[in-house]
């Protein structure tokens, strides 16, 4: 008579569910250690006066020090100004370029053109910033040369307190354009052709087809792209660090640059964590509000 084999402990352990859990475990543990635990730590440190020499619990004093001093709000203002300039400068051209690209029937040509538009995105922000710093050089830069050829006096661009943020916004737009173009292009290619055909039969003009079909259908994607750009632009650092370092006259002192200085030049970790948490809260609430406020469902 055959004995029914007893399931060993290992067999019981190895049931499907546990195995699945083991597969996701490495990545999940990594996230816990590298993201979730540090953010709790950030909260903890924000209640301390934390420097390389000492660590003292101070309650909300660090929050007071950060939030009641104008340097933080100045950085927020500069960053907001940058973001407000940069987003339309990036998203609107990207949308039009994507629509134009989408209308090109020959795929090979469309791909070649897409590569050109995406190339700036591939280059590191450091290299992009240097490229433009050179182009916008007041003395030897090509941009001023072109302007002077048409009779406009050369500008100071990155060296001018009033023009530095618009210039940085322009550089950012150049760099990020290709990314948004691809996102829009992908969305455009999911739009159903029948709608357009039906509209054309009904006599809708090109403009009407654009404003009544394309735009509403793309609405979710436009919001998504704006949120992506918003979150990314708020955190810019590379270009500013490499070119202006916050100047001239602190007019390009974006918030992450400020955070960097507070943490790694002045070693005030408590204050740095406060700034970091403020940025996190701001971005979280911005994405939340944008999503809820501007979302309109499209039914057809």
Partner 1 sequence: MLKAFFASKVAYILLIPGACIIFFPIFWIALTSLKTPPEIQIVPPTFFPKQLSNTTNYFEVFRREPFGNFILNSLFVASICSISSVFLSSLAGYGYAKFNFPGKNLFFFATVGMLMIPFQTIMVPLYLWLTRFGLLDTYVGIMTPFLVSAFGVFLMRVAIETIPSDYIDAARIDGCSDLRIFMQIILPSVKPALATLAIIKFMWTWNELLWPLIVTSSTSKYVVTLGLSSFTNMYFREYHLLTAAAALSMIPTIAIFLLFQKWVIRGVAMSGLKG
Q: Which residues from 245-264 bind partner 1, rule CB under 8 A?
A: 256, 259-260, 263-264
Residue closer to partner 1 by CB (options 61, 287) is: 287
> If binding is defined by CB under 8 A, does position 107 make contact with partner 1?
no
Size, binding site for partner 1 by CB under 8 A? 93
Q: Tell me the window of 37-45, 59-67, 71-79, 156-164 that interacts with partner 1 (CB under 8 A).
A: 37-45
- Residues 131-170 as x/- pattern, contact with partner 1 by CB under 8 A: xx-xx-x-xx-x--x-------------------------
Give dist(CA 227, CA 224) in Å, integer.
Answer: 5
Write down the least CB distance from residue 38 to partner 1, Å: 4
Among 210, 224, 250, 251, binds partner 1 (CB under 8 A): 224
Contact (Cβ atoms closer than 8 angstroms) between residue 83 and residue 234: yes
Write down the least CB distance from residue 64 to partner 1, Å: 19
> If binding is defined by CB under 8 A, does position 58 make contact with partner 1?
no
Backbone angles phi, psi at 57, to 5 degrees: -75, 130
Give dist(CA 297, CA 104) in Å, integer.
Answer: 29
Q: Which residues of 71-107 are buried (b: 16+ CB within 10 A; e: fewer)?
A: ebeebbebbebbbebbbebbbeebbebbbebbeeeee
Contact (Cβ atoms closer than 8 angstroms) between residue 271 and residue 66: yes
Q: Residue 183: count other Cβ atoms within 10 Å of its Cβ.
A: 20
> If binding is defined by CB under 8 A, does position 289 make contact with partner 1?
no
> If binding is defined by CB under 8 A, does position 202 make contact with partner 1?
no
- What 3-state class would DSSP assign to 56? strand
Residue closer to partner 1 by CB (options 87, 177) is: 177
Scan residues 61-90 and list those touching partner 1 (CB under 8 A): none
Among 11, 60, 67, 124, binds partner 1 (CB under 8 A): 124
Burial of residue 147 (CB within 10 Å: 0-12, 13-18, 19+) is: middle
Contact (Cβ atoms closer than 8 angstroms) between residue 119 and residue 131: no
Scan residues 171-200 and list those touching partner 1 (CB under 8 A): 174, 177-179, 182-183, 185-187, 190
Q: How many helices (H) and strands (E) does the chain have?
A: 15, 2
> If binding is defined by CB under 8 A, does position 300 make contact with partner 1?
no
Q: Which tokens sit at 63?
A: 């929050």
> If binding is defined by CB under 8 A, does position 205 make contact with partner 1?
no
Write down the least CB distance from residue 197 to partner 1, Å: 12
Residue closer to partner 1 by CB (options 1, 24) is: 24
């Amino acid at each position: 008579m055959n004995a029914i084999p007893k399931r060993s402990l290992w067999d019981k352990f190895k049931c499907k569910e546990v195995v699945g859990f083991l597969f996701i475990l490495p990545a999940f543990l990594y996230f816990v250690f590298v993201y979730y635990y540090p953010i709790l730590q950030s909260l903890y440190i924000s209640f301390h006066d934390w420097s390389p020499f000492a660590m003292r619990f101070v309650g909300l004093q660090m929050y007071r020090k950060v939030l009641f001093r104008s340097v933080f709000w100045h950085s927020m203002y500069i960053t907001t100004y940058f973001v407000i300039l940069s987003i339309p400068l990036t998203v609107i051209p990207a949308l039009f370029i994507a629509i134009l690209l989408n209308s090109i029937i020959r795929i090979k040509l469309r791909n070649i053109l897409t590569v050109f538009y995406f190339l700036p995105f591939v280059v590191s922000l450091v290299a992009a910033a240097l490229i433009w710093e050179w182009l916008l050089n007041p003395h030897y830069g090509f941009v001023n040369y072109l302007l002077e050829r048409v009779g406009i006096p050369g500008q100071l661009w990155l060296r001018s307190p009033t023009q530095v943020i618009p210039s940085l916004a322009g550089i950012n737009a150049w760099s990020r354009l290709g990314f948004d173009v691809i996102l829009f292009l992908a969305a455009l290619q999911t739009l159903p052709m029948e709608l357009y055909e039906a509209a054309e039969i009904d006599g809708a003009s090109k403009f009407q087809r654009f404003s009544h079909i394309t735009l509403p259908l793309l609405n979710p994607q436009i919001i998504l792209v704006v949120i992506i750009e918003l979150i990314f632009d708020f955190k810019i650092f590379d270009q500013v660090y490499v070119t202006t370092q916050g100047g001239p006259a602190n007019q390009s002192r974006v918030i992450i640059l400020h955070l960097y200085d507070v943490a790694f030049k002045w070693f005030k970790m408590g204050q740095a964590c406060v700034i970091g948490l403020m940025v996190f809260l701001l971005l979280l609430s911005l994405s939340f509000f944008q999503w809820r406020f501007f979302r309109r469902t499209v039914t057809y």
